[in-house]
Structure 1
Amino acid sequence: MAESREHTFTGAKGRITVRAWPRDLPRYLAILVHGYGEHIGRYEYVAGRLVRHGAAVYGLDHMGHGRSEGDRALIEDFEDVVTDVHTVEEQARADHPGVPVVVIGHSMGGMIAARYAQRYASGLTALVLSGPVIGEWAIVPELLTYEEPPDTPIDPATLSRDPSVGAAYAEDPLVWHGPFRRTTLDAFATALDTIAKGGTFGALPTLWVHGEDDQLVPLPGSRSGIDAVRGGDLTERIYPGARHEVFNETNKDEVLADVTSFIDRTLPTGPF
C-alpha cells in the first residue's frame, strides 16, 4: 500500500478532505474523482498502481461524502464539485510545477470528470472515464417521479464479481447507505443536461472503460453520453462480464494496465 497523507481546504460548501499519495519527481499528476456515496479511501489500490507507474496521486472526498463536511450524499450543484476538484488540481500543480495532469473519474466521478474536461480541458493531458454516469441514467428520472425517493440501497453484488468488494462496501462506515436525496437527483439531472449541451472534449485524449455487465450504470446509456461529448481521440475498453467497479473487478490488473498504457501514450516523455 502506497504512503498517503491528508489535508483539508475550504471548498464551495465547507471543509473538504483531500488525500495525496506522493511520489518524488513524478512523471504526471493523477487526480482521482470518486463516485456517489463512497469516498477516496476506496481507491488505495488504484493509487498504489499509479504511484508505481510514476504518478503523484491526489483525490478528494466530495462535499457530503467521506470525511468532508456537508449533509450526507447531498449535492445541490455539481458545478461546485467541479470547482472543488479544480482546487485540488491547483494544489497538485503548486506541489509539482510543469508536470502533466491526468483526471480519472469513476461513476458519478466520471460525470464530474467529463464536466471538468469541458471546463478545464486546456490544462489536461488526458482523461479517463470509468463506468461514467453520462448520457442517459434511467434511475434519475425514475426516482424523481417520487416526492420523496424510496430507500433502494445499492446491491453490493452489482459492484464486482469479487464478493469481498461488496462485503467491504457494505461494512464501510464512510459509505452512504441511505436513500438518494431529491436535491441530489435534481442536481444529477441538471449536470447530465449541462454536459450534453457543453460541447466535445476536442483533442483531449480520452479513455472510456466500462463493465459489460454493469447494472448500476448500464453501458447503453453511457454510450449515448460518450457519443455526444467525445472528441477526436477516444479509446474504448469494454470488459466482458465485468460489473460496475472495473477498478475493483477480478480483472482489475488488466483494467489498470490498460489505463497506464493509455497514459503512457499521452505523456510527452514516454514510458517510465
Structure 2
Amino acid sequence: MSYKTHVFTARDGEHICYYHWKANEQKPLKGMVQIAHGIGEYAGRYDAIAQLMADEGYEVYANDHRAHGKTAEIKRLFGHYDGADYFGDCMEDMHELAEKMRADHPKVPFVLFGHSMGSLLSRKFVTEYAEELDGLILSGTASFIKGLGNFGILATGIVTKIRGRERKNDTLKDLFFGEFNKKFSPNRTKFDWLSTVEEEVDKFEADPYRVEDFSLGVFQDVIKNSKKLNEEPAFQATPTSLPILVFSGKKDPVGEMGKGVKQVVKKYKNCGVEDLTVHLYEEGRHEMLKEKNKEEVQQDILNWLKAHI
C-alpha cells in the first residue's frame, strides 16, 4: 500500500473515508486525479494505477462511497444505506473531496476517473460540475440495459414499497450479479465476470471489504440513474471541449459485451464531444485493471494523461 487514509465529515454529518497518494516530489506537479470506485468494492483496490499516476507527478485521491469499504466500516454497517438519494449523496461526497483537493492544490488540472458505478457517478458529476473538470476517464461504463434495467426499476419499486429502502433482498442481489456471471457459465466462482485472471477473482472473493448485500435503496438508485444518465439531456450537459477516455473489455457483461459501451461513445459523439479516446480490449471482462494485459491498460491511461494534462 502506498496511500494514507483520512476522514472528512460530509454536509449531512456522515463520516467519509478517503485515500491519498502523494505525487512524486522529484517531478513537477502535473495535476490531480480523483478515482470513483464501483459497486461492491472500495478505493484501495486502485492502489496500483494510483501509484503509477502518483509516480508520474499526479496527486491522486479517492473516497470509499457510502455503504462501502472503510466508510462503511466506521459504523460497522457494510451495504447499509438509509437515505433518500444514494447517487446524489455519493456524488456530493465526491464533490466535497474535490473541493478539498483543490484547496490542497489550487490551479492545477483536475481529472475524474470512474469505474462501473463510479463511471456513472462521474457522468452525473459532469452534469452538475462540468466546469471544474479538465478531463474524464470512464472504465467499465454502461448504457442502460433495457431488459434487466426496466425489470429492476419495477421490482425494486414494488419491494421497497412493501419492505422499505433500508432492507436487503437476496433475490434481487442474485438476479443482478448472477445475470452478469451467466455469460461465462459453467462458472468457477460468482465473480467470473470480473476478470479472466483467476488469481484476481479469488482475491476479490476473499476480500473482507467486498460487499454484496446492499440496502434495496442502493440498487434502486443505481438502476434509476443508469437510465437517466443514458438519456440525451445527460450527454448534452457534457461540454464538447471536455477530453474523455473510455475503456472497457469486449467481454464485459456490464457493457453488454462492448455494445453498451459503443452506444455511450456514439451518444457523446452525437452531442459534439471533440476529444474522445476509446479502447475496447479484445478478451477483457469488467475489470481491465485486473486483467492479463493490465500493464497495457495502465500505459494507455498514462499516455492519455500525458497527452491531455
Instruction: Give TM-score, length-normalised by structure 1.
Output: 0.89
Letter of the structure 2 residue corresponding to residue 72 of structure 1: F
Q: 1:85 to 1:137 in 2, by over 3 A?
A: farther
Residues 1:211 and 2:240 are matched in the alignment? no
Deviation of the 1:263 alpha carbon: 1.1
Is the 1:137–1:221 contact (alpha carbons within 8 Å) kept by the matching residues of 2? no
For residues 123 and 44 of structure 2, the distance between their equivalents in structure 1, rounded to whole angstroms, comes to: 22
Aligned 1:54-133 pairs, distance under 5 A: 54-69=57-72, 71-73=77-79, 74=81, 76-133=85-142
Is the 1:165–1:248 contact (alpha carbons within 8 Å) kept by the matching residues of 2? yes
Is the 1:137–1:222 contact (alpha carbons within 8 Å) kept by the matching residues of 2? no
For residues 294 and 151 of structure 2, the distance between their equivalents in structure 1, rounded to whole angstroms, comes to: 31
Q: 1:12 to 1:139 in 2, by over 3 A?
A: farther
Aligned 1:1-272 pairs, distance under 5 A: 1=1, 3-12=2-11, 14-23=14-23, 24=25, 25-69=28-72, 71-73=77-79, 74=81, 76-136=85-145, 138-146=147-155, 147=159, 148=169, 149-152=171-174, 153=177, 155-178=190-213, 180-195=214-229, 196=231, 197-198=233-234, 199-201=236-238, 202-218=240-256, 219-230=258-269, 231-267=273-309
Deviation of the 1:156 alpha carbon: 1.8
Deviation of the 1:80 alpha carbon: 1.7
Q: 1:209 to 1:186 in 2, by over 3 A?
A: same
For residues 140 and 166 of structure 1, the distance between their equivalents in structure 2, rounded to whole angstroms, comes to: 25
Q: 1:255 to 1:63 in 2, by over 3 A?
A: same
Q: 1:220 to 1:200 in 2, by over 3 A?
A: farther
CA deviation vs aligned residue, 1:101-143 (integer Å, no higher than 9, x gap): 1111000001111111222221211100001134436543334
Letter of the structure 1 residue corresponding to residue 211 of structure 2: W
Bigger-Rg structure (1/2):
2
Is the 1:31–1:103 contact (alpha carbons within 8 Å) kept by the matching residues of 2? yes
Could you list the runs of 5+ residues in structure 2 that have no partner in the other structure?
A: 160-168, 179-189
Q: 1:102 to 1:258 in 2, by over 3 A?
A: same
Is the 1:18–1:59 contact (alpha carbons within 8 Å) kept by the matching residues of 2? yes
Letter of the structure 1 residue corresponding to residue 7 of structure 2: T
For residues 115 and 138 of structure 2, the distance between their equivalents in structure 1, rounded to whole angstroms, comes to: 6
Deviation of the 1:52 alpha carbon: 1.6
Letter of the structure 2 residue corresponding to residue 260 of structure 1: L
For residues 63 and 301 of structure 2, the distance between their equivalents in structure 1, rounded to whole angstroms, comes to: 20
For the residue of structure 1 that corresponds to 2:283, the secondary structure is coil
Deviation of the 1:189 alpha carbon: 3.1
Is the 2:140–2:254 contact (alpha carbons within 8 Å) kept by the matching residues of 1? no
Is the 1:136–1:224 contact (alpha carbons within 8 Å) kept by the matching residues of 2? no
For the residue of structure 1 that corresponds to 2:70, the secondary structure is coil
For residues 138 and 210 of structure 2, the distance between their equivalents in structure 1, rounded to whole angstroms, comes to: 21
Is the 1:131–1:209 contact (alpha carbons within 8 Å) kept by the matching residues of 2? yes
Deviation of the 1:79 alpha carbon: 1.8
CA deviation vs aligned residue, 1:70-111 (integer Å, no higher than 9, x gap): 753347331221111111111111111111111110000011
For residues 144 and 114 of structure 1, the distance between their equivalents in structure 2, rounded to whole angstroms, comes to: 20
Deviation of the 1:227 alpha carbon: 2.9
Taking only aligned residues, the RMSD between alpha carbons, in angstroms, comes to: 2.1
For the residue of structure 2 that corresponds to 1:97, the secondary structure is coil
Letter of the structure 1 residue corresponding to residue 284 of structure 2: A
Is the 1:137–1:217 contact (alpha carbons within 8 Å) kept by the matching residues of 2? no
For residues 19 and 150 of structure 2, the distance between their equivalents in structure 1, rounded to whole angstroms, comes to: 33
Larger displacement relative to structure 2 (147-156 or 227-236): 147-156
Deviation of the 1:210 alpha carbon: 0.7
For residues 77 and 60 of structure 1, the distance between their equivalents in structure 2, rounded to whole angstroms, comes to: 15
Is the 2:173–2:212 contact (alpha carbons within 8 Å) kept by the matching residues of 1? no
Give the number of aligned pairs.
265
For the residue of structure 2 that corresponds to 1:157, the secondary structure is coil
Is the 1:144–1:182 contact (alpha carbons within 8 Å) kept by the matching residues of 2? no
Is the 2:194–2:286 contact (alpha carbons within 8 Å) kept by the matching residues of 1? yes
